[in-house]
């Protein structure tokens, strides 16, 4: 962090908030990209770690082949992807961005982090895995349409955006346009129309929270980052979408993807969940029936993918979902 140019970050932060669409490319030089890479991009990397961890939990593996990081910036998405799935699944990593300064930086960092990996600038003919991260707010309708065409050429698409309402709704609209050709893998535990689009679910958006590494809270540089950027380091909301041309088996009945965080009241905890039948549903954990589950939901960070058994709105059995347990849920609440 010693080499961070704080003035450059303040300028970038202002651009991100104001919507820099009219001003791309906004990277002036390598200092801009490096300062971003050491700060904003690290936080985005923790979101990618969360998303890639969710995919591994599902037992999902990507095809081995050509990976494209589109709108790469400093290249954090590509590096996180290779870190998670390994060099052996990457024939070549392509970095694509309207800024040559960004592409050059991303390529160099990818070579440094993964020596021996083949890297290249620009779009290849064949795209096996398409990575897209934190670009939607900067793109015109026309560019989004071109990006959707690129998605249609890929075997799978991993798309990560900030977990705010507009980003989530944009990703949901993209899912609706692509789900006829590509199967939704995550976060959705189903392939139906997104339940959030039902009129009664208008207040909701599909978002999750990535964990933040503990060292951040004791590090004076991160303290300065939080102060200067006016960012709450504790909260790392994320919206994401993973699509795959290869069909996957449906998830077991009772699988639920938690949306947001549980809402805790004295007698109960309420969890908004997306169910395997495509419905958005608010389940209630009653404190007197499932005291341990209630305490866990109140104090800990519950896993995103869960298993529920319900009677009406009440959750009678609750457990984390995971292939580590042989694909069977560990039912904490039985
Ligand atoms: C907020 S940065 C995100 C960078 C990186 N994907 C990440 O998650 O850290 C958005 C990136 O998209 C790039 N970008 C914006 N419009 C673009 C376009 N039309 N074509 C290619 N790249 C674009 C910008 O130059 C910038 O590097």
What is the residue-level pLDDT of the chain in tens, covering all 334 positions? 889 999 999 999 988 887 755 577 899 999 999 999 999 999 999 999 999 999 999 999 999 999 999 999 999 999 999 999 999 999 999 999 999 999 999 999 999 999 999 999 999 999 999 999 999 999 999 999 999 999 999 999 999 999 999 999 999 999 999 999 999 999 999 999 999 999 999 999 999 999 999 999 999 999 999 999 999 999 999 999 999 999 988 898 899 999 999 999 999 999 999 999 899 999 999 999 999 999 999 999 999 999 999 999 999 999 998 644 334 444 444 4
**Ligand 1 nearest atom to the CA of residue 99, by list position:** 25
Q: 98 CB under 6 A from ligand 1?
A: yes
Among 130, 121, 116, 115, which Cα is nearest to 66's?
A: 130
E-strand stretches of 202-251: 208-209, 237-244
Cα gap 110→76, rounded to integer Å: 9
> What is the pTM (predicted TM-score) of this model?
0.95
Residue 246: predicted pLDDT: 96
Query: Encoding tokens for residue 233?
Result: 């380091």
CATH architecture of 6-244: 3-Layer(aba) Sandwich (3.40)
Instruction: Give the C-alpha separation, 285 to 301, whole Å.
Output: 16
Classify residue 23 by burial, with Cβ atoms within 10 Å: 0-12, 13-18, 19+: exposed
Q: Is the distance from the beta carbon of residue 76 to the nearest atom of ligand 1 less than 6 Å? A: yes
pLDDT score, position 289:
96
- Nearest residue to 52 (alpha-carbon basis) of 80, 91, 78: 80
Whether the Cβ atoms of residue 76 and residue 42 lie closer than 8 Å to each other: yes
pLDDT computed for residue 24 by the predictor: 74
Given a contact cutoff of 8 angstroms between Cβ atoms, the answer to whether 183 and 247 are in contact is yes
pLDDT for the residue numbered 322: 64
Strand partners for 284: 270, 314
Distance CA 92, CA 77 (A): 14
Q: What angle do CA 268, 300, 54 make, to 5 degrees?
A: 110
Q: Which residue's C-alpha comes closest to atom 17 of ligand 1?
A: 98
Give the mutation target among 109, 135, 146 for probing the ligand 1 site: most ligand atoms within 8 A of CB: 135
Instruction: Note the Cα 132 to chain centre separation in Å.
Output: 10
Burial grade of 57 (CB within 10 A; 0-12, 13-18, 19 or more): middle
First-to-last alpha carbon distance for the chain, in angstroms, is 48
Minimum-distance ligand 1 atom for the alpha carbon of 140: 19
Q: How many CB atoms lie within 10 A of CB 22?
A: 10
How far apart are the CA of 76 and the centre of ligand 1, in A? 11
Q: How far is the CA of 236 from the centre of ligand 1 (A)?
A: 20
Cβ of 44 less than 6 Å from ligand 1: yes
How far is Cα 86 from Cα 82, in angstroms, rounded to an integer? 5
109, 75 Cβ separation under 8 angstroms: yes
């Amino acid at each position: 962090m010693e080499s961070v140019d704080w003035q450059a970050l303040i300028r970038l932060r202002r651009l991100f908030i104001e919507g820099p669409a009219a001003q791309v490319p906004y990277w002036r030089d390598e200092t801009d990209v490096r300062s971003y890479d050491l700060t904003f991009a690290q936080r985005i990397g923790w979101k990618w770690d969360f998303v890639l961890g969710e995919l591994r939990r599902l037992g999902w593996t990507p095809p081995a082949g050509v990976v494209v990081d589109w709108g790469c910036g400093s290249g954090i998405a590509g590096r996180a992807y290779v870190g998670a799935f390994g060099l052996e699944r990457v024939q070549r990593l392509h970095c694509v961005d309207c800024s040559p300064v960004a592409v050059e930086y991303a390529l160099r960092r990818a070579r440094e982090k993964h020596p021996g990996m083949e890297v290249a600038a620009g779009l290849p003919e064949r795209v096996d895995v398409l990575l897209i991260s934190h670009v939607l707010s900067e793109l015109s309708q026309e560019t989004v349409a071109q990006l959707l065409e690129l998605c249609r050429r890929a075997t799978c698409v991993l798309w990560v955006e900030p977990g705010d309402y507009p980003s989530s709704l944009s990703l949901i609209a993209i899912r609706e346009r692509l789900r006829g050709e590509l199967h939704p893998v995550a976060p959705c535990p189903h392939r139906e129309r997104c339940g959030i689009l039902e009129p009664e679910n208008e207040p909701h958006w599909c978002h999750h929270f990535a964990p933040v590494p503990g060292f951040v809270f004791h590090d004076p540089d991160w303290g300065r980052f939080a102060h200067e950027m006016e960012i709450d380091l504790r909260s790392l909301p994320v919206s994401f979408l993973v699509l795959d041309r290869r069909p996957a088996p449906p998830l077991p009945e009772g699988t639920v993807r938690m949306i947001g965080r549980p809402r805790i009241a004295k007698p109960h905890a309420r969890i908004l969940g997306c169910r395997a039948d495509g419905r958005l549903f608010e389940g209630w954990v009653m404190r007197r029936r499932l005291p341990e589950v209630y305490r866990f939901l109140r104090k800990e960070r519950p896993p995103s993918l869960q298993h529920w058994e319900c009677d009406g709105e009440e959750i009678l059995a609750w457990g984390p979902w995971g292939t580590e347990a042989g694909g069977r849920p560990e039912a904490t609440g039985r």
